[in-house]
Amino acid sequence: MDSKDQILALNILAGDVSPVRPPICPTRERLAQAFRSLQNISMVRNHRKDPHFGRSVEECIIWRELLDLELQHIDEQIERICETGGETAA
């Protein structure tokens, strides 16, 4: 996955936030904030006409969020397994 695909994935998640909905979950809020940061970096990069500006920060933001989402998914799987195990043991 190249960086454009990663930003597109974050854009899809961040674009789904609307003021009419109930408060969003902390993960979705954090992703929206990360996407806003990536947008700011991209705007500065375009303004400066420097294709390398902020690349390392951009990659850190993307990888941090991807890893955090993976860990969250694993935690949810463990919770489901524990709940299922508790139901069969009772």
Please count the structural domains in the chain: 1
Structural domain of 48:
3-89
Separation between Cα atoms, residue 32 and residue 30, nearest integer Å = 5
pLDDT in tens, 3-51: 554 554 455 455 555 555 666 677 778 888 888 998 999 999 999 999 8
pLDDT in tens, 45-76: 999 999 888 899 989 988 998 898 889 889 98
Q: What share of the chain is helix, strand, coil (3-state, %, to 5)?
A: 80, 0, 20
